[in-house]
Structure 1
Amino acid sequence: MYLEHVNLVVSNIDDMLSFYRAAFPHWKIRDQGKGDWYGKPRTWLHFGDDYHYIALSDHGEGQNRELEGHSVGFAHFAYVTQNLDAVIKRLNDAGFEIAKPGGTNPYRRNIYFIDPAGFEVEFVEYLSDVPLERNSTYD
C-alpha cells in the first residue's frame, strides 16, 4: 500500500503549478476538468507522474491554517528526493525561499517550503539505506 495522491483545495491553481513544476519538473497535468462542489463551481486538475499526483481544486476561500499555531488541521507533507540541493535550487530559481531548515541528523537532510496556498512541504534526502538509521530522530 502507498499514498497515491493528496487533494488540496486552493484559490489559484496557476500559482500552485509554478511551485510544484519547479519541485517536480518531470510531472505533468494528468487530467483536468470543471465541475461543481456542493453548489460552487470549480476547476480541478491532477498534477503528477504515472503513480503519484497532487489533486488541485480552485474553489478555496479564506486563508490556510496558521502553521505556527495549534489549530487542528493539516501540518505538512513530505517528499523524498535523491538530490535535495537540486530541489532547493529549482525552487529558489522559481522565486520560492526556504521556510525553515530541517533538523540535524547524520542519516538525512531535510528542508521546508511553503507553497503558494500556504501548505508546508518538506523535502527529505536520506543518507542511509538502513531503516533504523533513516527513521532515527536527532536534533
Structure 2
Amino acid sequence: MYLEHVNLVVKDLDHMLAFYRAAFPNWRIRDQGRSEWFGKPRTWLHFGDDYHYIALSDHGEGDNRFLNGHSIGFAHFAYVTQNLAATISRLEKAGFAIAKPGADHPFRRNIYFIDPAGFEVEFVEYLSDDPAERNSTLA
C-alpha cells in the first residue's frame, strides 16, 4: 500500500502549479477539467507522474489554518528527494523562500516551504539506506 494522492482545495491554481512544477520538474498535468462542487463551480487538475499526484481544485474560500497555532487540521506533508540542494535551488529560483530549516540529523537533511495555498511542505533527503538510521530520533 502507498499514498497515491492528496487533494488540496486552493484559490489560485497557476500559483500552486508554479510551486509544484519547481519542486517536481518531471511531473505533468495528468488530467484536468471543470465541474461543480456542492453548487460552486470549480476547475480541477491532477499534477503528478503515473503513480503519485496532487489533486488541486480552485474553489477554496478563506485562509488555511494558522501553522504556528494549535488548530486541528493538516500540519504538513513530506516528499523524499534524492537531491535536497537541487530542490531548494529550483524553488528559490521560482521565487519561493524557505519557511524553516529542518533539524540537524546525521542520516537525513530536510527543509520546509509554505506553498501558495498555505500548506507546509517538507522535503527530505536521506543519507542512509538503513531504516533504523533514517527513522531515528537522533538530533
Q: State the Cα deviation string for residues 71-103 of structure 1 (Å, max 9, x = none).
A: 000000000000000000000000001000001
Residue pair 1:103, 1:138 contacting (<8 A) in 2 also? no
Shift of 1:138: 2.5
Instruction: Give the CA RMSD over aligned residues.
Output: 0.5
Alignment of 1:63-74 (within 5 A): 63-74=63-74
Counterpart-to-counterpart distance in 2, 1:128 and 1:118: 31
1:51 corresponds to: 51
Structure 1 distance, partners of 2:37, 2:10, is 13
Paired position in structure 1 for 2:89: 89
What's the TM-score once normalised by structure 1's chain length?
A: 0.99
Shift of 1:104: 1.1
Aligned-residue identity in percent:
79
Gaps spanning 5+ residues in structure 1: where?
none
Q: Match for residue 24 of structure 1? A: 24
Number of residue equivalences = 139
For structure 2, which runs of at least 5 residues remain unmatched after alignment?
Answer: none
Q: Distance in 2 between matches of 1:25 and 1:36?
A: 30
1:131 aligns with 2:126: no
SS of the residue 1:45 aligns to: strand
TM-superposed CA distance for 1:28, in Å, is 0.3
Is the partner of 2:98 in helix, strand or coil?
coil
Structure 1: which 4+ aligned runs deviate by more than 4 Å?
none
Give the equivalent residue in structure 2 for 1:77: 77
Name the CA distance, whole Å, in 2 between partners of 1:106 and 1:129: 13
Q: Partner residue of 1:120?
A: 120
The letter for the 2-side match of 1:7 is N
Q: Which residue does the alignment assign to 2:98? A: 98
TM-score (norm 2): 0.99
Distance 1:95 1:132 in 2: 36
Q: Alpha-carbon deviations, 1:94-130, whole Å to 9, x = none?
A: 0001000001110000000000000000000000000
What one-letter code is carried by the residue in structure 1 that aligns with 2:10?
Answer: V
